[in-house]
Amino acid sequence: MEIFFSDIPDEGLHLEGELPGTIFDLAEDDPIRPAGPVRYRFDAYAFEEVVAFSGSLRGPFRLQCGTCLEYFDHEADFPAWSAEIDREPGMESFDLEALVREEFLLLLPSYPRCDDGDDGRACPKAELLEDFLEAGEEVPEEPSRPDVWSALDGWKQ
């Protein structure tokens, strides 16, 4: 939906609604998978050089865990969202779908972990990693003496 700057009154233009997950148009193996429609609710203000937005964005996604690579449910919720776009010369409008799409992609976590998800699961790979690190602590800190020293010891006696 194209919103013309000339349609934005001084007191701001209220925009609210739902957009289908298909606006994201991501590759099948993308680590971000929209899981339903996203909701937007914000006001747009047109200034001389920028158009500013203030409101909230929310929507369900499946994200790929950066540690175990499993997908998990993530409800993206940005209750105090704000952004602005520059008004380039000759630019008269902005595209609502493109704005919402770009903002979600920008704000979603870059390195999500499945144990940050809504279902309270623990990341299986993270446990393995912790087990591995704990096991590592049992290794004696003193390195074993290199043979050259025992040879020297023998020589001194």
Interface positions with Zn ion (CB under 5 A): 65, 67-68, 114, 123
Could you give the CA distance from residue 75 to residue 63 in angstroms, rounded to a whole number? Answer: 10
Backbone Cα Rg of the chain: 27
- Evaluate whether 7 touches 32 at the Cβ level (below 8 Å): no
Could you give the CA distance from residue 3 to residue 85 in angstroms, rounded to a whole number? Answer: 13
- Evaluate whether 45 touches 52 at the Cβ level (below 8 Å): yes
98 or 128, CB closer to Zn ion?
128
Closest CB 134 distance from Zn ion, rounded Å: 18
Q: 156: which residues sit within 8 A by CB, 6+ positions away?
A: none
Closest CB 110 distance from Zn ion, rounded Å: 15
Query: For residue 16, how many other CB atoms are within 10 A of its CB?
Result: 11
Closest CB 151 distance from Zn ion, rounded Å: 49
Closest CB 123 distance from Zn ion, rounded Å: 3
- Encoded tokens for 75: 């409800």
103 or 115, CB closer to Zn ion?
115
44 or 114, CB closer to Zn ion?
114
45 or 71, CB closer to Zn ion?
71
50 or 122, CB closer to Zn ion?
122
Closest CB 111 distance from Zn ion, rounded Å: 11
Phi/psi-derived region of residue 155, left when phi > 0, alpha when psi is between -120 and 50, beta in every other case:
alpha
